[in-house]
Structure 1
Amino acid sequence: MTGVAVVREFLQRMESGDRTGAQALLAPDAEMIFPGGRRFTALDEVAAYGAGRYRSVRKQYLTWDEVPAQHGTAVVVCTGTLVGETLEGTAFDGVRFVDRFSLRDGAITGQQVWNDLAELGVVRPGAGA
Structure 2
Amino acid sequence: MDQNSERDLQAVKDYLAASMAPDPVRAAQFVAPGFVCRFTGGRLFDTPSGPTGFNATRYAWVKKRIERYDVVPAGDQTIVYSLGYLYGEWPDGTGFDGNRYVDRFTVQDGLILDTDVWNDSAEWILDPSIAKS
**Is TM > 0.5 for Structure 1 vs Structure 2?**
yes
Structure 1: distance between partners of 2:49 and 2:39: 14
Moved more, 103-112 or 115-124: 115-124
The residue type equivalent to 2:56 in the other structure is A
* Unaligned segments of structure 2, at least 5 residues: 1-5, 129-133
Equivalent residue runs for 1:1-129 within 5 Å: 1-70=6-75, 72-121=76-125
Structure 1: distance between partners of 2:69 and 2:51: 22
Structure 2: distance between partners of 1:96 and 1:43: 21
RMSD of the alignment, in Å?
1.7
Q: How far 1:48 sits from its partner (Å)? A: 1.5
CA gap 1:82/1:24 in 2 versus in 1, 3 angstroms: same
Q: How far 1:54 sits from its partner (Å)? A: 0.6
Structure 1: distance between partners of 2:46 and 2:114: 9
CA gap 1:39/1:81 in 2 versus in 1, 3 angstroms: same
**Partner SS for 2:60:** strand
Moved more, 9-18 or 88-97: 9-18
* Unaligned segments of structure 1, at least 5 residues: 125-129
**Partner SS for 1:33:** strand
Kindly indicate whether the alpha-carbon contact (under 8 Å) linking 1:33 and 1:113 is maintained by their aligned counterparts in 2.
Answer: yes
Of Structure 1 and Structure 2, the greater strand share is in: 1
Question: Normalization by structure 2: what TM-score?
Answer: 0.85
Q: What fraction of aligned residue pairs are identical, expressed as a percent?
A: 36
Moved more, 11-20 or 72-81: 11-20
**Partner SS for 1:89:** coil
Structure 1: distance between partners of 2:53 and 2:9: 26
Q: Deviations over 1:10-46 (max 9, x none)?
A: 1001111222221011001110011110000022222
The residue type equivalent to 1:15 in the other structure is M
Q: Deviations over 1:62-113 (max 9, x none)?
A: 121111242x221000110000000111000000000000011110001100
Question: Normalization by structure 1: what TM-score?
Answer: 0.88
